[in-house]
Amino acid sequence: DIQMTQSPSSLSASVGDRVTITCRASQGIRDRLAWYQQKPGKVPNLLIYGASTLQSGVPSRFSGSGTGTDFTLTISSLQADDVATYYCQKYDGAPLTFGGGTKLEIK
Amino acid sequence: EVQLLESGGGLIQPGGSLRLSCIASGFSFSNYGMSWVRQAPGKGLDWVSAVSGDGRTTYYPDSVKGRFTISRDNSKNTMYLQMNFLRAEDTALYYCARKYSATSGFDYWGQGTHVTVSS
């Protein structure tokens, strides 16, 4: 099975910073990658699918890139509301594996 | 408005069985693949199973294969997860989620139902 590895596992940044989270697949998954945001105590929310397509209603400061095995989620200007854990997920085929998550905090 | 409502969770002894339900509303249920995703306390997201829109095709990770069975009744807009031979490590909040398409992720999630496996 393909493994999904996220880095870093935790991150502290200041409001206004540019933040980048990476996700690596152990084998190529084309662009079949999604990113989710889960705020504390809340349900996961789809941010990006197809590696780079922004889900409707998601702020434009979020962006995704990559194909094959290496992917990134970027927040162009961090806001206090972005405190959350972020997960990547492959969906090229079963199993629909999630990455281990990246916990983002405000410095 | 799309809504997903899970039920059926509870406290169950190791080796026991439980059936979760997810009632969908606000969309044409049979047109969408659905999944169960769980989250153990303080841990990350863990995909548990998926079923195609017509219910004919199912998928499982090795961790639950042979113990869990996903199904759906499109006439009732309801998806199920039959969980047998439950283990302590199955303790989690279980979410149902809709997969928008083959080229998209899970665009709607329910609030989840808690499953605790303990003696």
Q: What is the per-residue pLDDT across A6-53, written as a single tens digit (0 to 9) for each?
A: 999 999 999 999 999 999 999 999 999 999 999 999 999 999 999 999
Measured CA to CA, the distance from residue B44 to residue A75 in angstroms comes to: 21
Quote the minimal CA–CA distance from A35 to chain B in Å.
8
- Please indicate whether, in this complex, the C-beta atoms of B60 and A94 are within 8 angstroms of each other: yes
Chain A contact for B5, CB < 8 A? Answer: no
Q: Max Cα separation, chain B?
A: 42
- B66-90 pLDDT, tens digit each: 999 999 999 999 999 999 999 999 9
Quote the minimal CA–CA distance from A33 to chain B in Å.
8
DSSP B6: E
Burial class (CB in 10 A: 0-12, 13-18, 19+), B90: buried
The answer to whether A98 touches A87, Cβ cutoff 8 Å, is yes
Chain A contact for B40, CB < 8 A? Answer: no
The answer on pLDDT for B100 being more than 90 is no
- B8-51 pLDDT, tens digit each: 999 999 999 999 999 999 999 999 999 999 999 999 999 999 99
Burial class (CB in 10 A: 0-12, 13-18, 19+), B55: middle
State the DSSP H helix or E strand holding residue A35, giving kind and residue range, or none if neither.
Answer: strand A33-38
DSSP A5: E
Chain A contact for B93, CB < 8 A? Answer: no
Structure tokens of A48?
A: 């990006």
The answer on pLDDT for B102 being more than 90 is no
- Please indicate whether, in this complex, the C-beta atoms of B106 and A38 are within 8 angstroms of each other: no
The answer on pLDDT for A5 being more than 90 is yes
CB atoms within 10 A of CB B41: 9
The answer to whether B19 touches B7, Cβ cutoff 8 Å, is no
Once rounded to an integer, what is the mean pLDDT over residues A83-98?
96
Q: Residue A57's pLDDT band (boundaries 50, 70, 90)?
A: very high
User: One-letter amino acid identity for B81?
Assistant: L
Nearest of B101, B94, B96, B84 to residue B115 by alpha carbon: B94
The answer to whether B45 touches A36, Cβ cutoff 8 Å, is yes
Chain A contact for B1, CB < 8 A? Answer: no
For residue A77, the model assigns a pLDDT of 98
